[in-house]
Structure 1
Amino acid sequence: MDWIFLLLAGCGEMSGVTALGFYSNTKKKLALVAMIISFVFSFSFLYLSLQTIPMSIGYSIWTGIGAAGGSLMNMWLFNESKSFKRFFFIFLIIISVIGLKFVN
C-alpha cells in the first residue's frame, strides 16, 4: 500500500506542477486553488508512504515522478519544446528512479 501512496503522491506533484503552469499563464484563481489542492494531496500521500519506505528512496522517487511527469505534461499542454535531448534526459530521470527501487 505504501508504494501506491507514493505513486499517488507523485501524481499529485505532477498535477500541482501542471496547475502552476496554468496559473502562471492565465493568473486565474481556479488554477491557484487546483495547485494548492494538488500539493496538499501530494504531501499527504508522501507523508503516508514515508511511514514504511525509507525517506531517501521515497523522496527521490516522488521528485522523479514530479519532474519527469511535469515536464511531459507541460510539453503536451503548453506546447513546450519536444526535442530529442529533452526526451533523452527525461528518460534518464525515469531510469534512475527505477534503478533506485532495485538497489534498495
Structure 2
Amino acid sequence: MNWIFLIMAGIFEMIGVLMINKLHKDRNLISLILLIAGFGLSFWLLSLAMETLPMGTAYAVWTGIGASGGAILGMIFYGEPRNGLRIVFITMVLGSAVGLKLVS
C-alpha cells in the first residue's frame, strides 16, 4: 500500500508543478488552490509512504516521478522541446526509480 501512496504522491507533485506554471500565466484563485492542494496532498502521501519505506528510496522515487512527469507535462501542455535526448534522460530518471523499487 505504501508504494501506491508513493506513486500517488508523485502524481500530485506533478499536478503541483503544473499549477505553478498555470498560476504564473493566469494569476487566478483556482490555480492557486490547485497548487496548494497538489503539493499538500503530495507531501501528506509521501509522509504516509515513508512510514515503512526507506527515506532515501521514497524521496528518490517521489522526486523522479515529479521531475520526469513535470518535464512530460511541459512538453504536452506548454510546447517545451521534445527531442530524443530529452526523452532518453526522462526514461533514465524513471528507470532509476523503478530500479530503486526493485532493490528495496
TM-score of the two chains, using structure 1 as the length reference: 0.95
Residues 21 and 74, structure 1, Cα contact 8 Å, conserved in 2: no
Q: RMSD of aligned C-alpha atoms? A: 0.9
Question: Separation in 2 of the partners of 1:89 and 1:18?
Answer: 20
Q: Which residue of 2 aligns with 1:73?
A: 73
What do the CA deviations read for 1:2-31 (whole angstroms, capped 9, x no partner)?
A: 111101101110100011111112222211
Quote the sequence identity (%). 38
| Number of equivalent positions | 104
Matching of residue 83 in structure 1 with residue 93 in structure 2: no
Q: Which residue of 2 aligns with 1:97?
A: 97
Paired residues for 1:38-77 under 5 Å: 38-77=38-77
Letter in 1 for 2:39: F
3-state SS of 2:81 partner: coil
Question: Separation in 1 of the partners of 2:24 and 2:101?
Answer: 34
Question: Separation in 1 of the partners of 2:99 and 2:38?
Answer: 27
Shift of the alpha carbon at 1:103? Answer: 2.2
Shift of the alpha carbon at 1:85? Answer: 1.6
Gaps of 5+ in 2: none
Matching of residue 12 in structure 1 with residue 12 in structure 2: yes
Question: Separation in 1 of the partners of 2:69 and 2:54?
Answer: 22
Q: Which residue of 2 aligns with 1:24?
A: 24
